[in-house]
Amino acid sequence: MLTLSKREMERASSARDSSYDGIFFLAVKSTGIFCRPSCPARKPLPKNIEFYPTPREALFAGFRPCKRCRPMETDGKPPEWVRELLLTIEKNPTGRYGDAYLRSVQIDPARARRYFMKTYGMTFQAYARGRRLGTSLEQIRKGADLDDVVLGHGYNSHSGFREAFTKTFGRPPGKSRASDCILVTWIESPIGPLLAGATAEGVCLLEFTDRRMLEGQFATLRLRFKTAIVPGENQHLTALKQELTEYFTGARKKFSVPLVFPGTPFQEQVWKQLLKIPYGATVSYEDIARRVGSPKAVRAVGTANGMNRIAVVIPCHRVVNKNGELGGYGGGLWRKKMLLALEKGQKALFEHT
């Protein structure tokens, strides 16, 4: 649900304020097109505008992307004020970045909260805290002295650090030398941004950020792995980014990044069968049901398919209805169509749709 007032969205779109790009989209009823707030095209009359929080909702309402501002292409460039915040945190992840800091750099804390919730699924302060604590966990696992970690991460006392650390990771720092956490990062793609997550063992999450189940998937991850989810990156996420880039350009047909996908025994059976579907091929839900030894469990297969937490890499998009129709897809049928088009060699359609 949009948290901005209609007046604020009208002001932002009228001013072509690029800092609102990605926070909302405006659709023009008279043309059937939706745009970014910063679109340079001539602005329509207010009575012809509708606002949507995500491209998905605009698409499902029957609007098509503007060819001028290309709202489906985030192109890896967040608003300048967000980019500066991210750079500041990466330069000094142990710093403290509260509302006072945001105001000192002329950023409205409410805007930062909205953007980070929309983009990363957490507030700006939670993002900064996660980077700080994620860095502390890495040092603890490498054997650093707890006194050095506490003083080096902006805490004035052991108790304050211990309380924040335990709240995030579920266990006190002294018992965390062998602990892991799920690191999450943002990955751009030609069909919309994704959130990726990985443990030390492998990738455990790859979801489109506008998927409504994303919050539920995070809850499932916490339950399955019994650990915290914090922003960051490791070698598996770095490899995933590279492999996805190659996949979307048509240069990669098989992923090699290690995967970790605990679920129910039935879910794991289904997901393993999905990994066996060749690039460019499709199978039916009935086919998967037979392959897992439960030919009558077609509906259960569909449910397990929809619960897949690692989109694209575990190719649930390659499962279709028995009659050849696409069926469902958690990321939206338009994405399923695009992925299948890419894998069938229709790259030109993929790149310009």
Q: Tell me which fold the domain 80-175 belongs to.
A: Arc Repressor Mutant, subunit A (1.10.10)
Annotated catalytic residue 316? yes
- pLDDT tier at 211, thresholds 50, 70, 90: low
Mean pLDDT of the chain: 80
Q: What is the pLDDT of residues 54-97, one digit of tens each?
A: 766 676 555 677 878 877 665 546 678 888 888 888 788 777 78
pLDDT of residue 135: 66
CA distance 16 to 31: 19
pLDDT of residue 318: 95
The class of domain 265-352 in CATH terms is mainly alpha
- pLDDT tier at 353, thresholds 50, 70, 90: very low
| Strand 203-208 with 194-198, pairing | antiparallel
Residue 290, H or E segment: helix 285-291
Domains 80-175 and 265-352 in one fold: yes
**27 beta partners:** 34, 50
332 sits in the region (left: phi over 0; alpha: psi -120 to 50; else beta) called: left
Q: Tell me which fold the domain 6-65 belongs to.
A: DNA Methylphosphotriester Repair Domain (3.40.10)
pLDDT of residue 285: 94
What residue spans define the domains of the chain?
Answer: 6-65, 80-175, 265-352
- pLDDT tier at 157, thresholds 50, 70, 90: low
Q: What is the pLDDT of residues 37-60, one digit of tens each?
A: 989 887 788 888 888 887 666 765
Q: What are phi and psi of 80, to 5 degrees?
A: -55, -40
Angstrom distances, CA of residue 112 to CA of 49, 216, 232: 25, 23, 19
Question: Does the predicted TM-score (pTM) go above 0.85?
Answer: no
Q: What is the pLDDT of residues 251-272, one digit of tens each?
A: 999 999 999 999 899 999 999 9
**Active-site hit among 35, 39, 181, 316:** 316
Where is mean pLDDT largest: 2-16, 168-182, 314-328? 314-328
Mean pLDDT of 114-140: 71
